[in-house]
Structure 1
Amino acid sequence: MNGQSGKVFGALLGGALGDAMGFAVEFSRMAEIRSAFGPDGLRDLAALPSPVPFSDDTQMTLYTLDGLLEALEWANQGLGADESAVLWLAYLRWLKTQGIALDPAAPNPPLRWIDSQTVLHQRRAPGNACISGLSGPDMGTKFRPVNPDSKGCGTVMRSAPFGLLPYVETEMVYRLSQDAASLTHGHPSALHSAAVFATLIHDLLDPSASLQDAAAVAVRRAGESGVPELSDRLSAAVELASSGPVSPEELTAALGEGWVAEEALAIAVYAALATASAGSPQEHFRAALAVAVNHDGDSGSTGSIAGNILGTFYGAAALPADWLAALEGRDVIEELARQFTAATAG
């Protein structure tokens, strides 16, 4: 598997691997992680009891993908669709998998293939803003925000699929991911962090892409966003990575714990860059995810985002076979990836 297809599979499965690894330690402090897994923390997904579950991060990423897939299906039939509205309906379907009834005044979208996959019908600590933002009767927008003060990382962790759209201008990727983020969050950092992440993924679709160059462009976009904390955190991540991995304590002191959007993105970018000297793509993937999840903070989201980044950069070949064998729901992720690559084939 190579080319565009390999990058789609790599991004989705890589994100799920990082999410699963991080979810195992997400609510533990670093001292607890070291006590459970040794002085270097958790470094091997295959060391966990199998199948290793992923969290709401992967669930919502897959529902983002399915929303885009539905919009593409309409387009391929010559029919237009409001992408944000289609994504809102997809997220409402996800909300139902969490055992939450939709608001009586909200639309009740028809079910699709993804909704019959019971492996996704698990409540895995979903973010409060994602739940509350979807629980009302109206669709959130940038101009009529829900949760206007929330900048939780729930926007970033689900936004990789926007970057996987081929033949789409970068500006459109930025806008689509921003608009989709506003369905649940209203703070500018939540919107722009998601958009900067999605366009980073989009840049990495290019077979000639450089990880360092793509990160530098992401820093530039963050600077142009008008959101100072996003620009500051991402710049700090690139600077910190220039000297290689630091201790988990130094990581969180410099970049935060990842519970909010700009911190989660910064930690993931740092993890990918700081471990870039690892020998092979698989060695780089393993090393980066270990850095991304071993800290006090939202290890599931930081692991998921780092996995998306390196899975896109290298493609599926970078994903360790023993990790994939241990992953919950791999068949569902792969089927959705196949459907998406078929719908986007030029």
Structure 2
Amino acid sequence: MDAFIVSLQAVWSDSGFTAFTSGNAIMIAVGVILLYLAFAKGFEPLLLSPIAFGCILANFPKTGFETDPGLMQLISFGISHEVFPPLIFLGVGAMTDFGPLIARPSTLLLGAAAQVGVFVALMGAMALGFNVQEAASIGIIGGADGPTAIYLTMKLAPHLLGAIAVAAYSYMSLVPLIQPPIMKLLTTKKEREIVMDQLRPVSKFEKLAFPVVTTIIISLLLPPIASLMGMLMLGNLFRESGVTARLAETSENALINIVTIFLATGTGLTMKAENFLNIQTIMIIGLGLIAFAAGTAGGVLFGKLMNYFSGGKINPLIGSAGVSAVPMAARVSQVVGQQANPGNYLLMHAMGPNVAGVIGTAVAAGTMLAMLK
């Protein structure tokens, strides 16, 4: 009997209950709320659900995730050694049509305008006492590009990876909730109703030349982001070549789905109570929201400017897609446009600035790396 009691005591002492804290309980509750938003509200469930479950897993004490070799260590390695972000970019390139950007190159300016959020948050972070490397990593949240945020943070401020990755991916997931109020506030109903002219056809040569030329120019100009830009454009070449259908299909389906599971779960695993429940993390989350809102506003306001100079032919709503969340932001432009005018189809028009936003955020990250590292 004594041996049985000793065994029970040993099981209890080794259990997570003995080290479970109120902070763990709070973070598990956060994970459950995120799961609710993903499954019940449909806020990007493919992205938010693994983040949420990773958060829950991270707050079970004594799991050994940080020390014992295994899957969780492999996931952490893939994040910390910049394996997953370029692979995500490969899949994004394979599933994205660059035609709208090629057909209307002026939308590149909308992608650039949306990067204002990056610099708003950067200046805000420095005002709050973060150093310039930390501020740059926080600022990139405004681009709404999780892989780029992870890539830059690991090079400039790896100790902030958890909070920045969670902020970037959470705001990407919540694009349908955050962007519409800003878009409606900054535009009139008449502007939202604008039906844009059909895009010109884009030749196969243009679709093949664009990723090659873009890779050469940006990689020579900003070598630190050659892996991101190279994988993005390689994926697009798989899509457009006409002779690599199997590679394109794998990149845009199986590969990106697998990497998304690992990257998003790994992001959730950084949400440990002892690292997350502090004033610094709260400031980063807040600055990230400001950055994302400012980026959305910057794109919409520049869209209004383009609308004025085009004689009313540009719907300002497509400017909100200048943030890098592909294709979520473009879908939001479509939804808000159709709410104002059921016959309005803005999706393909919004894909131009959306692709420009991916490129713009990567360029902003490369510029910061060149200046600060």
- Give the TM-score normalised by the residue count of structure 1: 0.27
Q: Going by fraction, where is helix more abundant, 1 or 2?
A: 2
TM-score (structure 2 length as normaliser): 0.26
